[in-house]
Structure 1
Amino acid sequence: MKAITFHRTGDPDVLAFDEVPELPVGPQDIRVTVTAAAVNPVDLKTRSGFLTLNLTYPSVPGWDVSGVVTETGSEVTRFTVGEQVIGMVAQPAHRYGTYAEQVTADARLFAHAPAGLPLQEAAALPLAGLTAVQTLAKLTLPAGAPVLVTGAAGAVGRIAVQLLLAAGHPVDALARTGDIASLRDLGVGTVHTRTEDLPDATHTAVVDTAGVAAAIRAVADAGQFVSIDDNPQPAPERGITPGKSYVDENGDQLQTLSDLVAAGRLTVPTGRRYPLADAARAHHDFSAGGLRGKVLLLP
C-alpha cells in the first residue's frame, strides 16, 4: 500500500510517498481503507524530532483516521465489513500511523463514524475530541463553576468549550481577535485576546490548550490548572498545583463523542485538504500557522 514515510527525523522534506507492506489483521484487529487522515501538532513534533521517541523506521506518521472497514479479525464483533469508522491510533506505540491508504489496528481503538457527517470530516474528531474529554476529566468542577480555556478556537479548545458549556459551566476564552465572533456564537462569554488582560483569580479552573503558563493568574485560589501543551508548566502558587494531561486511545469514549456529533451537539470544523502524497506541503503550511479547522490528508 502507499503511505507517507520518514527514515529519520527532520524538516517536512523528510516525508516521502512510498510503498510499504500491509500489516496482517490479527484476531482483534480491523483493516480500514482510509478516507482521510488529519494532521495534528504531534505529527509535526514526531517528524521533527522534538519528541524523544523510540521510532521504528520507516515510520508512518498520523494519529487520526476515518474510513471504511474492509476486513475484520476472527474475534471482532463490534464492526463489520463496509461500516464507516473513525479511530485514534497513537502512532509511536504502533508500527504504522494513519498517513496511509490502509490502517490496521485493534478494533477497540475505533468507533462508528458519526451519522450525517461526511466521512472525510469525521477524521477531525478522534485526537482532539479524546484530548478534550480526558483533560476535562482531570478537573473537579462544582455545578456552574466558571472555566477559562486558552486556545479556545483550536481543535482541542473548541471541543472543550462545547463540552463545558453543555455541562452548564460559564466559559471564557483566550483566543485571537479573529476568533471572537465564532466563539461567541458557541456561547462563550468574555473572549480575551491578550494574556496580560486576563483577570486575576476569577475562574475555578483554566484549561490550557495553547501553552500559556501565565494564564494561571486567572485561576482562583486553590483552583485548578491543567494543560495539554509541551511548554514548561507554571510553578505551583496560591494552592494551585498545575497538571498535565496526555491523551490515551479509547474507542468507547470516541463513540460517545461520535454520537454527540451525530446528534448535532458537537461540531468539529475542518479546513484545508491535501492529497496524501502532498503531506510534506501540508506540514509546511501547518507549521507556518494561521490555519483554522483541521487539516486533512486524502489518499
Structure 2
Amino acid sequence: MPTLIRFHKTGGPEVLQYDQVPARALQSGEIRLKVEAIGLNRAEVMFRAGQYVEAPVLPSMLGYEAAGVIEEVGPDVKGLKPGDRAASIPGFSMTRYGAYGDSVVLPAALMAKTPDRVSSIEAAASWMQYCTAYMLIEYGGMKRGDTVLITAAASSVGLAAIQLANVVGARPIATTRNADKVQALLEAGASAVINTKESNLVEQMRQLTNGKGADIIFDPVIGPQLEALCEAAAPSAQVFLYGLLDPRPVPFPLITALTKDLTFRTYKMSLLTGNPERLEHLKAWITQQLESGALKPKIARVFPFKQMVEAHRYMESSEQIGKIVVSVP
C-alpha cells in the first residue's frame, strides 16, 4: 500500500503526516510513478499553511516534483511505458495530484523522461526551477549580451536563472541580503553579486553597467523594492515579477516606468504547461541542456523520506543555497 505524505489541517510543518492509502486505479492520461526523490518548493510550504493561490481539500496531498521509475501507465498514454525513468513538471493542481509519496499518480502529459546522466535526485530538483526561469527565454527573449538582474538569487529559481543566462551568453548579476551567500553565487556563475543589505542597488548597477542598467530584471520579491529595481533598469527594459516574497504594499513607480518605457510581465507556470506546443518545446530544450550538462541543479541538502517535517522546517529557515530534495527508499 502506498505511503503518502498528507495534511489533515493547515499549519506548520508538524501537520504533515504519513498515511497508508490504497492505490487507486489509473484514469485516462495518468501514470503511476515509483518515487525515488522529491523536490521541495516554497509553493508547497504556502499550500500546507493555507496561504497558497488555491485552497487545499482536506485531507490533502501536496508536492509538485517527483522523480523515479514509471510503474504503470493508464489508458491513452503515449510516449511513456513502465520502466522509463521520469520526473514530473509542475503544472497540475495539488487539489488533485501530489508528489509526496513512495508511489504516486501523476498526469502523463506533465512527465519528462530523465536523461541517463541525470540522477533522480537531480531530476527532482530541476523542473520547477528551470521551467520558471525559462520564461526569460520564452517571453523575455533573453540573448547574448543582455544584462540580467536576478534578485533573491540564492533560491533554486535564482540559481537556475543564472545558469540559463550563461547558457545563452547573457550577463547575470545577482542580489542577496546575506553576505555568506556572495561567494556561492559567484561560484554558481553570477558575473557580479550585489549585497543589498550593505550596498545601494541602484548605484551598484550603474557602476557595473557603465550607467546603462539592466536589460532584464527577474524578481520574486516585489514589495517596496520595485522602485529601486526600476531605477536600476535600462531604457526599454523588461521587468519579470514571478512571486511576492515581500508581503508589504507595492508602490508602482509610474514616472520611472513612463520615462524609461519599461515593460512589466507577471508569470504563472500554466502559460507554458497549459499550451501543448510550448510544453513540448520546453521539455525538449531543458532535457537537452540537462543531457549536455549545461544545466545542473545545485542541491542544498538531501533529507531521508521520514524527515519531511524537518525538510520543511529547513526550507522555512531560508538558509539553503539551491534545492532541497527528499530521497525515497
Q: 1:259 aligns with which of 276, 280, 288?
A: 288
- Alignment deviations for residues 227-263 of structure 1 (CA, whole Å, 9 cap, x no partner): 2112455514232243221123346523431221121
Please give the alpha-carbon distance, in whole angstroms, between the structure 2 residues aligned to 1:161 and 1:222: 21
Deviation sequence 1:95-130 (CA, Å, 0-9, x none): 231011112122110111132122122100011111
What is the match of residue 80 of structure 2? Answer: 79
Q: Secondary structure at the match of 1:242?
A: strand
Which residue matches 2:214? 203
Structure 1 residues 84-233: aligned runs within 5 Å: 84-90=85-91, 92-141=93-142, 143-175=144-176, 176-194=178-196, 196-198=200-202, 199-200=205-206, 202-211=213-222, 212-213=225-226, 214-230=228-244, 231=246
Give, in whole Å, the separation in 1 of the partners of 2:25 and 2:300: 33
Contact 1:4 1:277 in 2 (8 A): no
> What is the root-mean-square deviation in Å for CA atoms of aligned residues?
2.2
Distance 1:75 1:96, change over 3 A: closer
SS of the residue 1:92 aligns to = coil
| Aligned 1:1-80 pairs, distance under 5 A | 1-80=2-81
Greater relative contact order (CA < 8 Å, ≥ 6 in sequence): 1
Give 3-state SS (helix, strand or coil) of 2:200's partner. helix
Moved over 6 A (4+): none
Q: Distance in 2 between matches of 1:152 and 1:111?
A: 26
Letter in 1 for 2:320: L
| 1:18–1:267 Cα change, 3 Å | same
Matched residues, number: 299
CA distance 1:114–1:215, shift in 2 (3 Å): farther
Inter-partner Cα distance in structure 1 for 2:85 and 2:280: 14
- 1:230-241 equivalences under 5 Å are 230=244, 231=246, 235=252, 236=254, 237=257, 238=259, 239-241=261-263
Deviations 1:175-228 (A, max 9, x none): 343333343344432211116233255111111144453322211133211121
Q: How much does 1:21 deviate?
A: 3.0
- The one-letter amino acid of 1:202's match is G
C-alpha distance in 2 between matches for 1:52 and 1:159? 23
Q: Distance in 2 between matches of 1:298 and 1:141?
A: 34
TM-score between both structures, scaled by the size of structure 2: 0.83
* TM-fit CA distance, 1:59: 0.7
Name the CA distance, whole Å, in 1 between partners of 2:281 and 2:71. 21
The letter of the residue matching 2:88 is G
- Measure the CA separation in 1 of the matches of 2:87 and 2:320: 23
Contact 1:4 1:99 in 2 (8 A): yes
Counterparts of 1:261 and 1:272, CA distance in 2: 20
CA contact (8 A) 1:124 1:294 kept: yes
Unpaired segments ≥5 residues, structure 1: none
Following the alignment from structure 1 to structure 2, what is the Cα–Cα distance between the partners of residues 72 and 62?
A: 20
In 1, the alpha carbon distance for the partners of 2:75 and 2:143 equals: 46
Secondary structure of 1:172 counterpart: strand
Quote the residue 1:268 is aligned against.
297
The alignment's TM-score, normalised by the length of structure 1, stands at: 0.90
What is the one-letter code of the residue matched to 2:238? Q
Structure 1 contact 149–161 (Cα < 8 Å) conserved: yes
Whether the 8 Å contact between 1:276 and 1:298 is mirrored in structure 2 is yes
Could you tell which deviates more after superposition, 184-193 or 165-174? 184-193
Q: Distance in 2 between matches of 1:203 and 1:115?
A: 37
Question: Is 1:277 the counterpart of 2:306 in the alignment?
Answer: yes
- The CA deviation at 1:136 is 4.0
What letter is aligned with 1:247?
M
Unaligned 5+ runs, structure 2 = 207-211, 274-278
Asked whether the equivalents of residues 33 and 69 of structure 2 are also in contact (C-alpha less than 8 Å), the reply is yes
Note the C-alpha offset of 1:287: 0.5
Post-superposition Cα deviations, 1:143-185, rounded to whole Å, max 9, x if no partner, equal 5222111122321111111112221222212134333334334
